[in-house]
Chains A and B, each alone.
Chain A
Amino acid sequence: MIKLDANIARLLSAYFEGALEDDQYDELESWINANDEHAALLIEHAQLGRLLSQQYKLSSFEDEAAVFNAEYASAKRRMSTLAAGLALAAALALSLTVWFMTRPEADRTTLDPVERDTTPVAVLMETVDVVWASNPVTIGDNLPSGMLRAESGTMHVQMVGGASVTLIGPFEFVMESADAARLNYGTLRAEAPGEAAGFTVHTPGFDVIDLGTAFAVYLQRDGGGQVAVTQGVVEVRSASQTVRLVADQHIRFTNDEGLSAPTSLAEAGISGQQLPTATDHAKVVLDGIRLSKTDGPGASDPRKLYTQTFTADPGRRLVGIECATDDVQDAGADAEFGIFAITLTTPIGVEQAAPLGSRVNRDIIADAATPPTDGGWRRNGEYFDASSFPASIHTSADSEPMLSTNNDVTYHLVASPTAPATSDTWIIKVGEGEMLEILPGRYARVSLLFSAVGFNPVGPGANNGSIILHYDDGTTRRYTWDLADSNGAGLMPAPAAP
């Protein structure tokens, strides 16, 4: 390694601090151009500076308490001036979080890492499977202002100002004061009863001010997001607009278009108290999926779509769903299930669409505008948008068929970022004894949008098929579908498997 003389050492630092005079610039530049080793040394210092900034801002060097540092409380995220970069950024965000790290504009007069404000602003009430990306905290901890970042899991904090906040990872959450916080990305649900009114959630693009209510914010890493209000009133403010939302209203924010007009939760495809996981992907609307078999027995039968919600065990990790016909009496050879969409509900009530697994046999049981010619399948990388699938409306106590008698339905198809969307339509057949693999996770409820074809139960109590939830510890829970008219009512939970 070459030895730095004091003069060049000073010039290097002054350069990185933006403090070089013109003649010093000339001097540094000719030193750099004198040989590649010098250039490499400048690069090495730049790299170190970059990593040091990054690591210090991630508080990696700080002790546990220091994460909750007054500096973060006063950090103001600079709005990106590059709207054009954001579309791309949204897609790259997952792997390139460094772009979206907060850019604290430190308060240059008062900051000192030694002088920290440790006044608690919140208490950590509960964590479920949290994988911390910031220094970990434990239940019961008094939390001073500061940042918490998690890769996954859920966390519940009680703000000193009275608001109760739940976060679902991945998230980056900065507690600013007893009644204000900043969400940089992630899903947040807040309940702020009367005395906690005024609780404010800042995001890079908009602020949500609670006026005594319950609401949820889903924020993507690019700053785009959604707010859903389930009770009371909130005010949503962007740079140019202020919108009041009342219960059962929803609004979207994008960097390009700002705030949308408010819609009802139902119009937004959000059911009840829940906020779906937003997708970043383009949506293609499929009109007129006609559900009928194209050939074989039952080809002329119009088929119905059903939804059913099952209680899952959030204590265990769900890995798959099986639609079984092994216990169906007199099942025709054509007895089969078709699953259109799965919505999984996390223990704290956030719905997420589950991309369906790919390792299942697929067969077509429905007409499409252009039927697939190679045996029937669902195009890899695409799945139906379960956010428009009002799972919680249809429970086992109330399971109306989804479709009217003409069997036409409009559904959204969500393209994954890795596969092109097309206008075809497919339905998965889940073969006998096959498990539909899902992304493993802990869920409170599993909602299916499905069809069933060719079930011929005989007599009362005859099973019409089963839906079996598989957990990663090898245990299962079977629900039998027991009704003659295949209308989905009477789906009975079996006793939990040991």
Chain B
Amino acid sequence: MANENQQLRGEAWERFTRLWVKAQPALSTFIATVIVDANDAEDVLQNVALSASRDFDQYDPDRPFLPWALTIARHRVIDHHRTRQRRGRHFSATTVERLAAVCEKTMPGAVTDEHDRVTALRSCVKQLPANHQRVLGLRYHADMPCAKIAERMGTSCNAIFLMLSRVRTKLAECIQHQLRKAGDT
């Protein structure tokens, strides 16, 4: 383990860590967009970190870090899709590239942005009606598959899918509103 750590040392390591920490929310989101299995997504994120640290000497410090790291992430995602082909459909390489490009344009890059977003998210969740909070709890807290949630809530899976998207859309609007409000003050 010591040997691995020695590959990137001293100032370079510090610089890498700083850049990585800033870029990580965007990278995590990109990966979560194209790899829906959370465990797989975490594994790929770790691989991206490893590749990025190994190739860090190739990174041009005069250019932004996120696009560079996203290129690595894109490759790792495509590798991952290739090896997991038998486990079902995934997006084409073209779509993955497009999503990476959009990510680069739209994603806030800093941890502080993510922090504000989480704060807003928490307050927005509390404003949701009870049944919306419940569906979030069952999905994201209890990790239940759609069929189970539908059974608990006495409805169909399709209705749950629709509801989850609606709730997320509502949350996205609420978060944007809150962030804008915070930005104004």
Binary contact track B14-49/A, C-beta < 8 Å → 1, others 0: 100100110010001110110011110011011101
B180 located at the interface, meaning its Cβ lies under 8 Å from any Cβ of chain A in the complex? no
Residues in A neighbouring B75, C-beta threshold 8 A: none
Q: A9-B165, A14-B161, A112-B152 are in contact. Are A48 and B171 (CB under 8 A)?
A: yes
Residues in A neighbouring B46, C-beta threshold 8 A: 80, 82, 85, 88-89, 99
Q: Are B30 and A282 in contact (CB under 8 A)?
A: no
Q: A10-B158, A91-B5 are in contact. Are A39 and B98 (CB under 8 A)?
A: yes
Residues in A neighbouring B24, C-beta threshold 8 A: 96, 98
**In whole angstroms, how far apart are the Cα atoms of A106 and B172 in the complex?**
26
Binary contact track A32-74/B, C-beta < 8 Å → 1, others 0: 1100100110111111111111011100111000000001000
Residues in B neighbouring A86, C-beta threshold 8 A: 1
Q: A29-B91, A51-B121, A52-B136 are in contact. Are A96 and B21 (CB under 8 A)?
A: yes
Beta-carbon nearest neighbor of B171 in chain A? A48
Q: A53-B140, A89-B46 are in contact. Are A98 and B5 (CB under 8 A)?
A: no
Which A427-481 residues have a C-beta within 8 angstroms of B? none
**In whole angstroms, how far apart are the Cα atoms of A39 and B99 in the complex?**
6
Q: A36-B102, A81-B43 are in contact. Are A49 and B32 (CB under 8 A)?
A: yes
B9 located at the interface, meaning its Cβ lies under 8 Å from any Cβ of chain A in the complex? yes
Residues in A neighbouring B85, C-beta threshold 8 A: none
Number of interface residues, chain A, beta carbon within 8 A: 79
Choose among A13, A14, A51 the residue that contacts B118 (Cβ–Cβ < 8 A): A51
Q: A33-B94, A81-B43, A420-B10 are in contact. Are A50 and B50 (CB under 8 A)?
A: no
**In whole angstroms, how far apart are the Cα atoms of A426 and B145 in the complex?**
61
A87 located at the interface, meaning its Cβ lies under 8 Å from any Cβ of chain B in the complex? yes
Q: Are A46 and B169 in contact (CB under 8 A)?
A: no
**In whole angstroms, how far apart are the Cα atoms of A236 and B107 in the complex?**
45
**In whole angstroms, how far apart are the Cα atoms of A255 and B137 in the complex?**
34
Binary contact track A104-135/B, C-beta < 8 Å → 1, others 0: 11101001110000000000000000000000
**In whole angstroms, how far apart are the Cα atoms of A39 and B96 in the complex?**
10
Residues in A neighbouring B105, C-beta threshold 8 A: 36, 40
**In whole angstroms, how far apart are the Cα atoms of A420 and B47 in the complex?**
25
**In whole angstroms, how far apart are the Cα atoms of A25 and B49 in the complex?**
29
Q: A1-B173, A16-B36 are in contact. Are A48 and B165 (CB under 8 A)?
A: no
A103 located at the interface, meaning its Cβ lies under 8 Å from any Cβ of chain B in the complex? yes
Choose among A6, A17, A56, A71 the residue that contacts B162 (Cβ–Cβ < 8 A): A6
**In whole angstroms, how far apart are the Cα atoms of A11 and B165 in the complex?**
9
Q: Are B168 and A49 in contact (CB under 8 A)?
A: yes
Residues in B neighbouring A417, C-beta threshold 8 A: 5, 9, 13-14
A256 located at the interface, meaning its Cβ lies under 8 Å from any Cβ of chain B in the complex? yes
Q: Are A46 and B21 in contact (CB under 8 A)?
A: no
Choose among B5, B10, B137, B158 the residue that contacts A113 (Cβ–Cβ < 8 A): B137
Q: Is the interface of A mostly helix, strand, loop or mixed?
A: helix
B72 located at the interface, meaning its Cβ lies under 8 Å from any Cβ of chain A in the complex? no
Q: Are B43 and A106 in contact (CB under 8 A)?
A: no
Q: A20-B89, A111-B143, A419-B10 are in contact. Are A43 and B168 (CB under 8 A)?
A: no
Size category of the B interface is 35 or more
Q: Shortest beta-carbon distance, B80 to chain A, in Å?
A: 12
Q: Are B9 and A61 in contact (CB under 8 A)?
A: no
Q: Are A48 and B121 in contact (CB under 8 A)?
A: yes
**In whole angstroms, how far apart are the Cα atoms of A87 and B50 in the complex?**
9
Choose among B17, B161, B171 the residue that contacts A13 (Cβ–Cβ < 8 A): B161
Binary contact track B101-137/A, C-beta < 8 Å → 1, others 0: 0110111000000100110011001100000000011
Residues in B neighbouring A96, C-beta threshold 8 A: 20-21, 24, 49
Q: A43-B29, A420-B9 are in contact. Are A90 and B1 (CB under 8 A)?
A: yes
Q: Are A45 and B168 in contact (CB under 8 A)?
A: yes
A496 located at the interface, meaning its Cβ lies under 8 Å from any Cβ of chain B in the complex? no
Q: Shortest beta-carbon distance, A76 to chain B, in Å?
A: 12
Q: Are B32 and A46 in contact (CB under 8 A)?
A: yes
B82 located at the interface, meaning its Cβ lies under 8 Å from any Cβ of chain A in the complex? no
Beta-carbon nearest neighbor of A43 in chain B? B33
Choose among B49, B107, B145 the residue that contacts A88 (Cβ–Cβ < 8 A): B49
Q: Are B43 and A80 in contact (CB under 8 A)?
A: yes
Q: Are B136 and A50 in contact (CB under 8 A)?
A: no
Beta-carbon nearest neighbor of A58 in chain B? B118
B92 located at the interface, meaning its Cβ lies under 8 Å from any Cβ of chain A in the complex? yes
Beta-carbon nearest neighbor of A106 in chain B? B143
B160 located at the interface, meaning its Cβ lies under 8 Å from any Cβ of chain A in the complex? yes
Residues in B neighbouring A85, C-beta threshold 8 A: 43, 46-47, 49-50
Beta-carbon nearest neighbor of B163 in chain A? A13
Binary contact track A244-258/B, C-beta < 8 Å → 1, others 0: 000000000011100
Beta-carbon nearest neighbor of B121 in chain A? A51
**In whole angstroms, how far apart are the Cα atoms of A482 and B71 in the complex?**
66
Residues in A neighbouring B171, C-beta threshold 8 A: 48
**In whole angstroms, how far apart are the Cα atoms of A367 and B127 in the complex?**
68
Residues in B neighbouring A61, C-beta threshold 8 A: 122, 125-126, 137, 141
Q: Are B99 and A32 in contact (CB under 8 A)?
A: yes
Q: A47-B32, A50-B32 are in contact. Are A55 and B1 (CB under 8 A)?
A: no
B182 located at the interface, meaning its Cβ lies under 8 Å from any Cβ of chain A in the complex? no
Residues in A neighbouring B176, C-beta threshold 8 A: 1
B138 located at the interface, meaning its Cβ lies under 8 Å from any Cβ of chain A in the complex? yes
Q: Are B122 and A43 in contact (CB under 8 A)?
A: no
Q: Shortest beta-carbon distance, B113 to chain A, in Å?
A: 11
Residues in B neighbouring A498, C-beta threshold 8 A: none
Residues in B neighbouring A88, C-beta threshold 8 A: 4-5, 46, 49-50, 53
In addition to A44-B168, A84-B50, 17 A-B residue pairs with Cβ atoms within 8 Å of each other are A13-B165, A32-B99, A36-B102, A39-B99, A39-B102, A40-B102, A42-B99, A43-B33, A43-B99, A80-B46, A88-B4, A88-B53, A95-B17, A98-B24, A111-B144, A112-B142, A418-B11
11 contacts between A and B (CB under 8 A): A1-B172, A1-B173, A13-B164, A48-B172, A50-B29, A61-B126, A61-B137, A84-B50, A95-B21, A99-B42, A418-B9
The 10 A-B pairs at the shortest CB distance, nearest first, are namely A85-B46, A87-B4, A9-B165, A13-B161, A106-B143, A46-B33, A282-B2, A56-B141, A39-B102, A111-B142
